[in-house]
Amino acid sequence: MRALLAVASLVALLLAGSVTAQRRPATLAPVTAAERSGFAATATADELRTFLEAVVALAPPGRFAIEGFGTSEAGRDMLAVDVPPSRATSSDDPPLRVLVVANIHAGEVCGKEAVQILLREIAQGEHAGITATCHLRVVPNYNVDGNEAVSPRNRVSQNGPIQGVGRRENELGLDLNRDCVKAESAEFRALLGLMRAFDPHVVFDLHTTDGSPHGYHVTYATSQCTNVDPQLDAYARNELLLATRARLLERHGFRSFDYGNVEGGGQPSWSSFDHTPRYLTNYVGLRNRISLLSEAYAYDPFEVRVRSTRAFVLAALDRLVADRARIAALCAAADRICAEGRVTPGFGTDTILAEGEEGEVLWGTWDALPTEGGRARLVRRTEFEPRRMTIRTRFVSRAFRPLPAGGWAVITPSEGTLRNLRDHGIAFRELTSDTTATASSFVPTSGDRAARPFQGHRTITLRGEWRDGPRAFPAGTIVVPSRQPLARLAAQLLEPESEDGLATWEFFAERTVIASAKRDGEYPVVRLATLDALPLR
């Protein structure tokens, strides 16, 4: 069996190479930095800009545009490539809006190189069936500061590029893929501005994964947050990802599977990553949109990782474009459910990884090659075999609280809180005078604060009880209606029991008081059953 699978693996790799070769344009000008170096290097920001400008010149006039959408913490330009649909569209046949984000971790550069190749192919007239009705925005180099810190000492175990990659964090040492709730980095605030303006139906998040020795070229996921719209979640999990997986193998020769790593000893399980929306893939789901995480395998050769990432994007786009009307309807319905106050069963907490089901995972191995620094570079072997184990790819919440019928009142909000809500696009109003209203207040009875800082914060977990009764609100209190399209996101940010909200990241730390025998508890966000009669502007 193992020998047969090894042969199958080799055939799949050859098939992937032959398909790629058939689709390469007759001339490769402009050439990416990776191609020019024989996939020994990755593009700097200047090399990327030069390549993109050449792609714009290669395309028909007006077909492509390079847009700046912000600046990094170090003041570097953040660039997006806009590719509108080639066919005229209308309100009756709107285009599918897709945002592709690469290089959020600048040591994981296969996505940055893959989207360059894809953009060149589109400029030369390829993939016309996708681009006719798809409006693409591509961010090839999201973590532009980390990208410039190239060193062969970064991600040493990764199988190339041997000339080095950038660092994981941005200029301030923040992991941009842990910033999607607190929104502290200039980079994520810029990306939020792009998402608010463009409002993509689908967001791709392109990575490279290390970890367990499996037999897949790509692993994937959609939002793992339990508070996303269930219809969008069902479509992404049960239809889109499965269709992408099949198409990726049949048309491009690359194996793929649900993202995971092996946990446990005697009875191992294949388990997914976290459910919290600090991750971009999870966060997008709270905006009532579809997210697609792609994780190329770090121990494949760099060129294979670039080609498999390109193929994943294409395979998914094929299905997305075919389903564009349905996707638009699902997104609109999710917005409408929130705006009409029909979110059920409510806001989920006490979340755990679901038990999962028994299944087969392709298991492989690698060779460890020594490097000059003494650490090993891992190179995946072509042999792999199926292993039975529990597959755990989704999370479940064990407690739900209905969203308040009126909304949330934030008493004496800080400037940081106001900016955060605006950046996320959360709608809110302000009390023009002091008033009293019936409210449901959270009384913290205990809490944990992390002993060590994480991403610049000692994260907080609160526990407590709810009490109903009259509450005095000073002028300047802001009121966040629960009937708005981003109600799911608003709940995630404001609820005191949220597993990844503003309370988690110390936004309310100065105003939060744990109840004791000597003092009452206090949390500065309360629930409102109605907004009627409140003096709002």
Positive or negative: CA dihedral 241, 244, 250, 254: negative
Q: pLDDT value at position 518?
A: 87
* Residue 368: pLDDT over 70: yes
Confidence tier at 264 by pLDDT (50, 70, 90): confident
Which stretches of 212-343 are DSSP H helices?
230-235, 241-252, 280-285, 302-322, 324-339
Q: Tell whether domain 2-395 is in CATH 3.40.50.300.
A: no
Q: pLDDT value at position 93?
A: 82
Confidence tier at 88 by pLDDT (50, 70, 90): confident
Q: Give CA–CA dist 82/511, Å, rounded.
A: 43
Q: Give CA–CA dist 272/361, Å, rounded.
A: 13
Q: pLDDT value at position 25?
A: 43
- Phi first, then psi, for residue 13 (nearest 5°) are -65, -40
Q: Give CA–CA dist 203/291, Å, rounded.
A: 5
Contact 221, 259 (CB under 8 A): yes
Q: Give CA–CA dist 303/13, Å, rounded.
A: 12
Q: pLDDT value at position 23?
A: 44
Q: pLDDT value at position 8?
A: 42
- Position with higher pLDDT, 325 vs 1: 325
Note the pTM of the prediction, 2 decimals: 0.93
Q: Give CA–CA dist 86/63, Å, rounded.
A: 8
Q: pLDDT value at position 268?
A: 86
Classify strands 269-271 and 261-263 as parallel, antiparallel or unpaired: antiparallel
Nearest to 288 by CA among 484, 102, 89: 484
* Residue 10: pLDDT over 60: no
Write out pLDDT tens, residues 133-162: 999 999 999 999 999 999 999 999 999 999
* Strand residue runs (E) in 175-308: 202-209, 218-221, 256-258, 261-263, 269-271, 290-297
Mean pLDDT computed over 162-168: 97
Q: Which two tokens stand for residue 436?
A: 């009293």
Confidence tier at 529 by pLDDT (50, 70, 90): very high
Query: Edge-to-edge, what's the strand order for the sheet holding 218-221?
Result: 65-71, 77-83, 134-139, 96-102, 202-209, 290-297, 218-221, 256-258
Confidence tier at 434 by pLDDT (50, 70, 90): very high
CATH 3.40.630.10 range(s) for the chain read: 2-395
* Residue 417: pLDDT over 50: yes
Q: pLDDT value at position 3?
A: 39
Q: pLDDT value at position 265?
A: 67
Mean pLDDT computed over 105-126: 97
Instruction: For residue 23, give the 3-state DSSP assignment.
Output: helix
DSSP single-letter state for residue 165:
B
Q: Which two tokens stand for residue 2?
A: 């193992």
CA distances from 6 to 252, 365, 382, 496 (A): 18, 12, 6, 52
Write out pLDDT tens, residues 209-263: 998 999 999 999 999 999 999 999 999 999 999 999 999 999 999 999 999 999 8
Write out pLDDT tens, residues 26-37: 444 799 999 999
